[in-house]
Amino acid sequence: MKHTYLIALVVTSVLAGAAWADGNVSPKEAEAMVKKGVTFIKANGKDKGYAEITNKKGQFVDRDLYLTVYGMDGKVWAHGANEKMVGKVLIDLKDVDGKEFVKERIELGKAKASFWQDYKFTNPVSKKVEPKTMYCERLEDVVVCGGVYKK
């Protein structure tokens, strides 16, 4: 019985890993990166934390994973893929399917300490619009998020 369980566990792990083996970041890695970002902001303050998150060559960018920080009004405080977004209020931004994903993210952030959110967004590596799942954690008056592109 133990061997059957062990074999099933190994096969499941291999199959789960194969879905992310093409160079994309796994959901577990995204969650860990968000937690690392929250810890960094708490330890170093918002100014230094947001600057480091926005730094494309910094510790919060890994392959197609980067962090973003949104205020509860939809204002971008940090963006690891596009520094031009910092300072903009994107509350009405929609994905290709018309989903108001920033508004939804803010509503989820007000209601939950952490959450996952699905939408579509342009992958900075492939330059294609792809399904994405975003992990976010509320930190005082902002949500810190990092997502993975699903293939």
- What domains can you pick out in the chain, each with its CATH number? 24-149 (3.30.450.20)
Please report the pLDDT score of residue 109 as a whole number: 97
Please write the tens of the pLDDT for every residue from 62-77.
Answer: 988 999 999 999 999 9
Report d(CA 68, CA 85) in Å as an integer: 10
Alpha carbon 33 to its chain centroid, in Å, reads 8
Q: What is the pLDDT of residue 23?
A: 64
Q: Which pLDDT score is estimated for 37?
A: 98
List phi, psi (to 5°) of 109.
-65, -30
4-9-15 Cα angle (round to 5):
125
| Measured CA distances, 133 to 11, 76, 107, 116 (Å) | 24, 18, 16, 7
Q: Which residues of the chain have pLDDT under 50?
A: 1-21
Give the predicted TM-score (pTM) of the model: 0.83
